Structures are given as structure tokens and as C-alpha cells.
Chains A and B, each alone.
Chain A
Amino acid sequence: MTKAIRPIVLGVLGLLWLAPVYLLIVNAAKLPADYSSAEVWKPAFGGALLDNMRDAWERADLSVTVLSTAIYSLTGPLIGVLIGAGVGFAIVALRLRHGFWWFVFVFGGTVFPIQMILMPLFVGYADAGLYDTRLGLILVYSVISVPFSAFVMRNFFSGIAHHVFEAAVMDGATTWRIFWRIYLPMSGSALVAIFILQATFIWNDLLLGLTLSQSDDVRPIMPALTSLQSTYGGSAMPVVLAGGLLVSIPTVLLFLATQRIFSRGLALGQF
């Protein structure tokens, strides 16, 4: 008897949790003409989902936005993770003098809220001609990824025996070669994990994109979605919802595909 209670409670809660997803999909699949705000729970078999997605894509001019956001989500974490790994390598393998304090300095970059840097970045970017440029956003997204990468990579490199480093030195390898050919390839799982977390963060970012860009060419996808919502939220709800669904697909797929890696990584206390 009591055995049956847990699945039932969980099942009911789970259905409750999925209700917003149901509402999202069902209403994103209704033709704007068929949509009625008084009957949002009614299932829809119209199959207008793809049409609405295309509509959202065109109205918000998403093709260029998705391209920009993809560039940010790939280059930002890539640069950030390499620079962060460099810091970790110098501290752990090269035994940088006062390495711990340099680590504290770099990691301290994430301790304060991002609000503290918005205004000077906005003003400084305007002065330097970086405001509303892709280069400017790549730069800020890279920096944002550095402290966390340094944190994880320092931990990860600590797990690599120092003999590995010494052996490579004996063989005459330069430090750069040891970093590039030995330490980085040995840290595949950590690098991938940081990359995925930071790419998701950047894809989902609203605040930095909102502050540092305005044109359709440069603006990342989340600010684009908010303006789609404020423009068409009243007149074409299914299109807005289809847009919301569309921009979520990459991160949801990535998350479901990598969920196991993270449960394992978290269990090891690495992240």
C-alpha cells in the first residue's frame, strides 16, 4: 500500500510540472487565427507549429541572430576555457609564485554580481567602438568564462601527477608543448563540461546582450525573444510561444544528452 504512494505522488507532481510545457507546445501549434485566449487548454492538432516557428523566425529576423548567438556560444567558452586552463596549468604544473593568490584574484572575478560591470562596460565599449559589435560580445563572453574555467581546471590539473610533467621535461618538451599536447588532451572531460556549461550560459544570457548591443545583426537570441514578445505578445501569441520553444530546443537537447556527464562530474565534486 505505502509502496504505491510514492509513484502516485511523483506522477501527479510530474504531470503538474509538465503542464506549462503542454500549454507551450499546444498553443505554439495553433494557427494565430484559431487561437483563443479563453481556450488555452484545448489540444491542437492543427500542426501549425512549424509555420509559427517559421513566422517567429522571419518576424524576429532570427537567421542572423542565431548565427551571432552560435558564434558567441562557441568562441566565448573556447577562448575562456583555454585562458582559464592556462592559469590553472601555470599554478599547478609550473608552480607559479604565489599561485594560490593569483588563482583567488582570477576566481574573484565571478564573486560580485554582473551588475557591477555593466555600466562601465557600456560606456567603455562606446568609447572603444566595441558597442554593438560582435567582437565586443565575444570579448565579454570570453572573460565571463575565464574564472570558472580556471577554477575547474586548477582542480582537475591537481589530479594529474607531477611526474607526468617532469617526465615530459626530461624528454625535452617545452612548457607550451606539455600544456597543449599532454595536459589539455588529458582533461577532455573537464574541458567539455566547462564548455557545455558556459555555452549554455551564453546562449541563455539576456543581461549582457541587452546592455551591449542593439542592432539585429549583433544582438543575441534572448534579447531578440524579449522584443518578439513585447511586439507580438498581444496580437500573435502562438508565434511568440513558437519562438520561445524554438530558442529552447538547442539547450534542452544539449542538457538531456549530457545530463549523465554532469551527474557524474558533480558526484566527483569537480564542478
Chain B
Amino acid sequence: MTATFAQQEAPAGTGRGSGSGGPRPYRWSAWGFTAPGVLIVAVLLYLPFLWTTFLSFTRYNGLGSPEWAGLDNYQAMFSDPALLTSLRNTALWVAGTIIVPVGFGLLIAVLTYNMRFGAWFRLPFLIPYAISGVAVGVIWSFILQSGGALSQALDTVGVPGADSRWLLDAPLNTFVMILAAAWQASGVNALLFVIGLQSIPKEPVEAARVDGASGWRLFRSILWPMLRPLTTVVVGLSIVASLKTFDVVWVMTQGGPGRSSETLAITMYRETFVDSRYGLGGAVSVFLTVVTLTASIAYLRRQLSERKAL
């Protein structure tokens, strides 16, 4: 997919290039078409962004005016045990989301690759993707009640663990919620990988088959290297999405019990809208933004330099 993006940059790029010289007969009407988008984005996205950044350096509870506090909020943030827990949980979400739904999506894609009725076999994994995060949370908090559906199933099969308090003990609650989110997200990853597999040229795959490669060897030496660019995209999207995990956790535990399953997104919401500590909530948002941007940039740069080395 990255490759196609790169190709599509070209025509737009020429438009940009030719913009540097020559007459520009549509200057005003070009502005007319751009202004609504630029203004609305500036006022409702960038302005709030700057305001949050500013508030993160102040003490403010929504009433009166913000009071300059320097780095106090950031200091408070990194000395609060609840926030450290939230940080750890967010790290678990990122790691878990890279491993489970991405890995599982890849598995489903490879298993259904070049298979009769492959699309039908993929359908069960795609259905949860169309369900909202809230509905996923509703279903899974029902399944994961203590002594609920999962416990009953484990009990029947005779697997130990039936008496686990799935959503009440940390860090178990975070792990099971990662699985609930994986139930939703695996299908779309599978779909993306299938598209990647379909775009692999047939010749090298056939040549490898003729040479007797099949199964794991075929995957390891032909398919996997050719899927690398797509894997970059899928993993990158997963990292960014998992850093912002909110819906599923909010519905299933509200970050509890005792703030033990909070993620940064939940912490931000709680500090701001439940406890009215706007400055601290702002500091959490800024931190979340810095982490998100750093992660995406670092990840993309690493992948790009690796591809150059190949």
C-alpha cells in the first residue's frame, strides 16, 4: 500500500511544482475553495490543541482563570501511582495489539490465501469489525462476568481458571480486554493482509512452488518479505489506535476497579471531566500526543531506513 501511495504522490507533486512559477489565474477562487476547510480545521482542531497545551502548564478547574503552574502538572503526573499504572496498561495495550490482532490477522490471511471459498472462511472474523467499540464492550463484559459465559465454558471443558475474576483483578482485566479488542480488530487486519497477498506477483511464488517450497518455507522466504511494506502500515495503524484505547475500557471497567485498568485516554477523561483537574488532564493529553507522534515517526523512519538497506 505504501508503494501505491508513493506512486500517487507523483501527479499531485507536479501540481505543486508547477505552482512555483507562471501565471496563477485562479488565485482567488482557489482560496475560496480552501478557506472553509482551513478555517474550520484551524478553529476547531488547532486552536483547541494549542489551548490544551497551554492549560497543561496551569492550574485550572474550569472556573475562574487558569493560573500558571510551570511543570507542576507533569511532575504530579509522573509521581502519581495511578498514572504510572495507566502508563503501564497503555504499554500493555500497544504490545498486546501488535501481537494478537496483527498476528492473528496475518494467520487468517495466509490460511485463506489461494483457497477455495476463502472469502467465506474469512467472514466470521470480519463481522465483529462492523460492531462498535461500545457494543463490543457490552458483549464482552457480559461474557467476562465472574462466573459468566467464559467461566462456564472453561468449567465444562475442564480447563482451570473458571473461578477467575476476569474484570476485577489487575492486570488480568487489561489482558482480557486486549483479547476482547482483538476479537474486533483481527478481521480488518486479515482483510488488509489478504489484499497484500493478492498484490504479490505470481511468478516468484510459482517458481518457489516448482522448487518444492510449500507451507512454512514458502511463507518465510517469499510471502513474508513481500508483505513487509504492508506489515509496516498495519503495525503502525495498530500502534496509533492502541495508544488511544478508550471505548472498550470505558464500557467494560471504566478504568476500575480502583483505577487499575485505566489507559492514558481514560485517565485524561477522568482527570478532566470527572475530577475537573483540567491542567492535569491537559498534561496527560499532551503526553499522549507526544508518545503517539514519537511512536509513529520513529517506527516509520526505522522501517524506511530498513527498506533502503535492502
Contact = CB atoms under 8 A, between A and B. Distances in A.
Given A95-B30, A113-B243, A204-B133, A266 B125 contact: no
Nearest to B3: A269
B44 A117 contact: yes
Given A120-B47, A267-B195, A254 B41 contact: no
The contact size tier of chain A is 35 or more
Interface string B232-247: 0000000000011011
A176 interface: yes
Contact of B37 (A150, A247, A248): A150
Interface in B1-54: 1, 3-5, 7-8, 11-13, 15-16, 18-19, 24, 26-27, 29-34, 36-38, 40-42, 44-49, 51-53
B285 interface: yes
Contacts of A20: 128, 139-140, 143, 183
Contacts of B129: 255
A97 B285 contact: no
B33 A143 contact: no
A23 B145 CA distance: 13
Contacts of B269: 115, 118, 207, 210-211
Interface string A65-101: 0000000000000000001101101111011111110
A9 interface: yes
B189 to A, nearest CB: 12
Interface stretch (B75-83, B94-102, B200-208, B286-294): B286-294
Contacts of B57: none
B40 A143 contact: yes
B272 A244 contact: no
A147 B18 CA distance: 24
Contacts of A92: 12, 15
B62 interface: yes
A222 B192 contact: no
A1 to B, nearest CB: 13
A97 B24 contact: yes
Q: Say whether chain A's binding surface is mostly helix, strand, loop, or mixed.
A: helix
A266 B195 contact: yes
A211 B148 CA distance: 32
Interface in B179-194: 183, 191-192, 194
A116 B152 CA distance: 42
B126 interface: yes
A66 B247 CA distance: 19
A143 B130 contact: no
A90 B148 CA distance: 57
Contacts of A193: none
Interface string B107-128: 0100110010000010111111
From A38, A109, A140, A143, residue with most partner B Cβ within 10 Å: A109
B48 A121 contact: yes
B199 interface: yes
A263 interface: yes
Contacts of B36: 83, 86
Contact of A87 (B33, B52, B53, B145): B33
A23 to B, nearest CB: 5
A241 interface: yes
Nearest to B110: A6
A65 to B, nearest CB: 13
Contact of A175 (B26, B243, B247, B265): B26
A233 B148 CA distance: 13
Given A109-B46, A211-B273, A40 B149 contact: yes
Nearest to B254: A230
A200 B130 CA distance: 9
Residue of A21, A116, A211, A243 with highest tally of chain B CB at under 10 A: A116
A87 B37 contact: yes
Contact of B16 (A27, A99, A204): A99
A124 B251 CA distance: 27
A252 B251 contact: no
Interface in A218-271: 222, 225-226, 229, 233, 237, 240-241, 243-245, 247-248, 251-252, 254-256, 259, 263, 266-270
Contact of B132 (A40, A111, A203): A203
A94 B4 contact: no
A146 interface: yes
A23 B142 contact: yes
Contact of A119 (B29, B33, B46, B278): B278
A251 to B, nearest CB: 5
B195 A94 contact: no
Given A95-B24, A206-B133, A269-B8, A106 B41 contact: yes
B71 interface: no
A20 to B, nearest CB: 5
Contacts of A147: 41, 45
Given A83-B36, A94-B30, A120-B47, 20 more contacts: A7-B121, A13-B125, A86-B34, A87-B34, A95-B19, A97-B24, A99-B30, A100-B12, A102-B34, A112-B292, A113-B244, A115-B289, A120-B52, A143-B44, A211-B273, A222-B247, A229-B138, A267-B195, A269-B3, A270-B8
17 contacts: A13-B124, A14-B123, A38-B152, A83-B40, A99-B30, A100-B13, A139-B44, A206-B134, A206-B250, A229-B138, A237-B142, A241-B142, A243-B138, A248-B135, A251-B130, A255-B126, A269-B5
